[in-house]
Amino acid sequence: MTVFSFTTSLLQLIFILACAPLLNGIMLKLKARAERRVGPPIFQTFFDLAKLFKKERLRSQNASIFSALAPVVLISSTVVVIIVSPILSTQELFKTSGDLFAIVFILLVGSLMIALLGLDPGTPFGGLGSSRAMTISSLSEPALLVSIVAISIQAKSTNLSTIVSANLSHPIWLVSPPHLLAIFALLIVIFAEAGRIPVDNPATHLELTMIYEAMILESSGEDLALIKLGEFMRFTLLLLIVANLFFPFGIDTQANWIQLILSSGISLIKLTILGSLVTLLEVTQAKLRLFRVPELLAGAFVLAVLAVISEFVA
Amino acid sequence: MHLLFYSFLVGSIGSFASLVLTKKYRNKFASFCVVLEGLICSYESLSIISSGKTTTFNSNQLLPFFGIRLSLDPLSAYFILITSLLAIAVGIYQLGYIRHSTKAKTPTFIYPFFFTSMVLVPISNSVATFMASWEIMAITSILLVLTDHAKNNNSGHATQWYALMTHLGAASIFIGFLILSLGTKHQQFSSIVMSSSSLSTIEKSLAFFLLFIGFASKAGATPFHVWLPRAHPQAPSPVSAMMSGAMVNLGIYGIIKTGMTLIKVSEGWWWIVVIAIGTISAIYGALQCVTNSDIKKLLAYSTIDNVGLMIIGIGASGLLATAKDEKFALFMISGVLFQMLAHSIFKGLLFLSAGSIQYSTGSLNLDQLGGLLKKIPLTSTCLLIGAFSISALPPFSGFSSEWVLFEGLFRSILHLSGVNRLAVLFGLSGFALASGLTATAFVKTTGIGLLGVARSSHAETAKEVPPTMLFSTFLLALSCLVIGIVPGYFLKLTMKSSQLLFPAKKLSPNFKYGSIDLPNLATNIDPLLLLVLFTIALLMILLLLKAAIKRKVRITNSWGCGNEYSNSKTQYTATSFAEPLQRVFADVIRPDQDLVVSHVEESRFYVNNITYSNLSQDSIERFVYVPIKRAVTTWGKFASQMQNGSTHRYLSLGFIVLLIVILVLS
């Protein structure tokens, strides 16, 4: 642990804390403009979160300690991943932490907490949401782990920093077919895990189709604010990880302070571009029926397997 | 070695004393003896693993004709260690449990022998000794499954399945050993190792698969698993814990022993078949685990799932060994042994917690439970820790062990080639799907069982269990946490134990502060560090919230989109939770679903009554075993026609058979 890596981790945390609501605001604005609406200002999400923090917190009489714990655990698990992942710099805070498999399962802690939160108040909607969310999460696991294998093969390591550095020193790897296939599979999984269209629609509260919103229906006040913030942070984090896997240029590798500052700016640009692409997808695509989602995830799995196989054919 | 004999003596004293002691002291003394036996065994096995030495014991007098041949090496010591650790926890648990469950002396009498036989199996060093201890293990466990037969009609049926399958498996193992020892006059394992290399490939393959089928059926690998989800739930919880946590390990031991020591040079395609069986077991077990609503039954299926993961690992290790990549083969097999340790502990914990839930509510059906976290918080916490471990959540044991397993499979994909690599990729995909499904299954178990509102009066009036039972489950829960936080120490143990399989190679891992760091593989993990980071983040957020927000939480009714949900029946149930996955995998699970809608007489537009039933069945049992059973019955009926009770006919039949035998032999 050096001063630089410590600062990096802190900066990554602040960067994502600031950018996550902003990204959501930008995406909402873009979506509205694409639909020929004026849309909310891009800082609206900050105002919404601030409002929720001020609201009274209600809790069901059936609820156990999970209802209080789940939002905090969601945020803390995300924070741990933010600290150990190479987002602005590949300088690791600790030598033994940023493993991809570990990152997947730390994020799973947050997902499982929210799924349990859905079952906590004993209402039918919560159960509905967590049942569907867990179904999707378990079906996306094969695509996720196999695409991790595909991404790790060239660097011969599952450590995220090592992979990003190795890709930077061999830029030709980035455009190799296996790498692209794996990134595509990973993106589908991220859409599924983050509950975006075509798997789930975060903008709706329609009881027949909702997945994520159903689980957090009973949360209010700062509980809800924390959950929302946690979700935005996770989505931003996942997009940034994919961005660094697909296009790592701009990230700091030499523990250079100026590069670190530059890297924040570049990351913001990467994030905006990726966010706009996601918005474009959301505007043009309809949400899939729940029982068509397994087909999508099976498709992602096939892509990931193809990625691994083509890695060795080449 | 001699310490083990003393421990057997202690166990036997406990079991015979339970026959003569009065009710007041019987359980206490028997449990004390089992715990002492476990302590001695674990001490002895730890010292053997750390010294790395092999000790043997031979006696020609103890067993007629063949004598007894025992050999304690680090690998068998590792299996004894797991068995005895679990036995200690179960011994403590039984102090509270037996008092409520049964008045009979039989379980207390048999249990120490069951434990002893599980210690004897891995140290057996000849075919006769091995088969003898294997049979003692089978028979004692059969008797233990029967414990509650007076109260429970199903246990007789389950026992029949178990007895049949275990003896078919034993027969298969025995034939396999016979083929292996064709080239030698002796039956010690050491001479089998020497002679097996002179066998032809066909003979070796036949022996390997006969032994594999026998051991896989004990381990519960699909499609030889049908007895397991019947027998494990029927036994009393402490016995289920021992069967799922320790007995299935010996099946794994058999597979490792056969493929990696008895048959020195193995064929690559064997291991591909092994990986295929492992993958099918993992996925099938996990799927059935998701769809079942009975806690003990779904735990039994999750044992099949975990055994599948271990078998995938063994297959990958075997492939690496045949490809002469022994360094990674060693890493992979250590991962398997590590997963086994983690599985034994958390499965023991889950079965014992299930037993506690049955103790306090009288039910194991998730659809009748609910809200237990508030009623019995301590037991529920133990169940939660077990569920988090099995779902591979950091920092619990399942995470660390599955990380090692994943890393091993990843290395196998890197270092193998051609079809072998594809086989491991197939195994890794199965591993991934199974781990996702397991997480779902245990969100279901804990979410439906422990959260929400009680679904029956039993769950409503649940009372916390006696302190001995709680102490035992807490011990196991703590072990899950410790194994998860400092996996380095435990991986070191498994590497030492599996070193004798690949004596030439050594990995040079760095296990500082219990983290795992393999510098030459550029791979590392440190769950302790992650836990510290997580705790700091959690505390800081909580402090910030406390400082910033002074308002209190208002407790109200559940909102539920504005509807009143006063009835606990409107909650999601375990069945409805698993319905989406059941529908996605309908072709594999083949559930029996039935929907009957009856209308009032006057108009068919008014519904009077809706009945929905959803019975999840074991499709392999239905489509493979039931037809076989039917065919055997038909053949038996046909054959019985020849037996009309006439002595003349029997004599003539005997004469004909004798003629045929003479003709064939000449």
Interface test with chain B among A54, A105, A108, by most B beta carbons within 10 Å:
A105
- Could you tell me the mean pLDDT of each successive run of 10 residues in chain A, 314 residues long? 86 94 94 92 94 90 89 95 90 78 94 94 90 94 94 90 89 89 93 86 76 89 93 94 89 85 92 93 88 92 94 78
Contact A118/A126 with Cβ under 8 angstroms? yes
Flag whether pLDDT at B642 surpasses 90: no
Q: Is B40 exposed, middle or buried (0-12, 13-18, 19+ CB in 10 A)?
A: buried
Tell me the DSSP string of B306-338.
Answer: HHHHHHHHHHHHHHHHHTT-HHHHHHHHHHHHH
Contact A212/A219 with Cβ under 8 angstroms? no
Q: Does A302 touch chain B (CB under 8 A)?
A: no
Q: Does A96 touch chain B (CB under 8 A)?
A: yes
Q: Does B572 touch chain A (CB under 8 A)?
A: yes
Which residues 273-312 on chain B approach chain A with CB closer than 8 angstroms?
290
**How far apart, in whole angstroms, are the C-alpha atoms of residue A214 and residue B42?**
49
Q: Structure tokens of B103?
A: 């008045």
Q: Which of A247-251, B331-335, B502-506 has the lowest mean pLDDT?
A: B502-506
Q: Does B588 touch chain A (CB under 8 A)?
A: no
Q: What is the pTM of this model?
A: 0.94
Bridging pattern class, strands B523-525 and B55-59: unpaired
Q: Does B553 touch chain A (CB under 8 A)?
A: yes
Tell me the DSSP string of B100-121.
Answer: HH---SHHHHHHHHHHHHHHHH
Q: Structure tokens of B526?
A: 């440190």
Give the chain B residue whose CA is nearest to the CA of A52.
B549
**Mean pLDDT within B371-400:** 94
Flag whether pLDDT at B90 surpasses 90: yes
Contact A127 B439 (CB under 8 A): no
The length of chain A in residues reads 314
- Angle at which helix A293-313 crosses helix B418-450, to 10 degrees, equals 150
The SS3 assignment for B610 reads strand
Nearest CA distance, A159 vs chain B (angstrom) = 6
**How far apart, in whole angstroms, are the C-alpha atoms of residue B472 and residue B94?**
9
Compute and round to an integer the Cα radius of gyration of chain A: 19
Contact B533 A59 (CB under 8 A): no
What is the reported pLDDT for B72?
93
Q: Judge if the upstream peptide bond of residue A86 is cis by omega within 30 degrees of 0.
A: no
pLDDT in tens, B315-332: 999 999 998 888 889 999
Flag whether pLDDT at B36 surpasses 90: yes
Contact A108 B439 (CB under 8 A): yes
**How far apart, in whole angstroms, are the C-alpha atoms of residue A95 and residue B151?**
58
Q: Does A17 touch chain B (CB under 8 A)?
A: no
**How far apart, in whole angstroms, are the C-alpha atoms of residue A146 and residue A141?**
8
**Which DSSP state fits A188?**
H
CA-based nearest residue to B595, from B612, B572, B580? B612
Contact B394 A105 (CB under 8 A): yes
- Chain A CB contacts of B571 under 8 Å are 122-124, 127
Going from the C-alpha of A161 to that of each of A76, A87, B512, the distances in angstroms are 21, 9, 21
Which residues 391-450 on chain B approach chain A with CB closer than 8 angstroms?
391-394, 399, 403, 406-407, 410, 413-414, 417, 421-422, 425, 428-429, 431-433, 435-437, 439-440, 443-444, 446-448, 450
Tell me the DSSP string of A84-151.
Answer: HS-SSBS--SSSS--BHHHHHHHHHHHHHHHHHHHHTT--HHHHHHHHHHHHHHHHHHHHHHHHHHHH
- The beta-carbon neighbor of B555 closest among A59, A115, A118 is A59
Contact B18/B105 with Cβ under 8 angstroms? yes
Contact A131 B579 (CB under 8 A): yes
pLDDT in tens, B158-198: 899 999 999 999 999 999 999 988 888 888 898 888 888 88
Flag whether pLDDT at B100 surpasses 70: no
Cβ-proximal residues to B655 (8 Å cutoff; 6+ apart), any chain:
none
Q: Kindly report the three-state secondary structure assignment for every residue of B357-371.
A: HHHHHCCCEHHHCCC
CA-based nearest residue to B392, from B447, B333, B343, B336? B343
What is the reported pLDDT for B105?
77
What is the reported pLDDT for B510?
75
Nearest CA distance, A60 vs chain B (angstrom) = 5
Q: Does A95 touch chain B (CB under 8 A)?
A: yes
Task: Supply the mean pLDDT for chain B.
Answer: 90
- The beta-carbon neighbor of A125 closest among B446, B545, B560 is B560
Nearest CA distance, B319 vs chain A (angstrom) = 18
- Angle at which helix B248-257 crosses helix B106-123, to 10 degrees, equals 20
Q: Does B526 touch chain A (CB under 8 A)?
A: yes
**How far apart, in whole angstroms, are the C-alpha atoms of residue A191 and residue B240?**
41
Beta-bridged to residue B194, according to DSSP, are: none
Contact B529 A56 (CB under 8 A): no
The SS3 assignment for A279 reads helix
Q: Structure tokens of B495?
A: 């590497």
Report the Cα B284 to chain-centroid distance in Å.
14
**How far apart, in whole angstroms, are the C-alpha atoms of residue B453 and residue A53?**
29
What is the reported pLDDT for B553?
86
In this prediction the ipTM stands at: 0.95
Contact A102 B394 (CB under 8 A): yes
Burial B515-525 (b: 16+ CB within 10 A, else e): bbbbeebebbb
Among the residues of chain A, which ranges form H helices? Answer: 3-34, 44-54, 65-84, 100-119, 124-153, 160-169, 177-194, 212-215, 221-246, 257-284, 293-313
Flag whether pLDDT at B66 surpasses 60: yes
What is the reported pLDDT for A207?
67
- Chain B CB contacts of A145 under 8 Å are 406, 428-429, 431-432, 435
What is the reported pLDDT for A198?
84
Q: Is B13 exposed, middle or buried (0-12, 13-18, 19+ CB in 10 A)?
A: middle
Contact B78/B497 with Cβ under 8 angstroms? yes
Flag whether pLDDT at B431 surpasses 90: yes
pLDDT in tens, B206-220: 999 999 999 999 999
Q: Does B522 touch chain A (CB under 8 A)?
A: yes
Cβ-proximal residues to B22 (8 Å cutoff; 6+ apart), any chain:
none
What is the reported pLDDT for B99?
60
Contact A153 B530 (CB under 8 A): no
Burial B254-292 (b: 16+ CB within 10 A, else e): bbbbbbbbbbeebbbebbbbbbbbbbbbbbbbbbbbbbb
**How far apart, in whole angstroms, are the C-alpha atoms of residue B469 and residue B287?**
30
What is the reported pLDDT for A96?
64
**How far apart, in whole angstroms, are the C-alpha atoms of residue B558 and residue B653?**
78
**How far apart, in whole angstroms, are the C-alpha atoms of residue B145 and residue B660?**
43
**Which DSSP state fits A211?**
S
Flag whether pLDDT at B640 surpasses 90: no
pLDDT band per the 50, 70, 90 thresholds, residue B267: confident
With tokens 């698990």, the residue in question is: A77
pLDDT in tens, B52-61: 888 998 888 8
Contact A116 B446 (CB under 8 A): yes
Give the chain B residue whose CA is nearest to the CA of A155.
B522
Contact B526 A94 (CB under 8 A): yes
Which residues 255-274 on chain A approach chain B with CB closer than 8 angstroms?
none
The length of chain B in residues reads 666
Residue type, B562: G
What is the reported pLDDT for B25?
82
- Chain A CB contacts of B537 under 8 Å are 75-76, 79-80
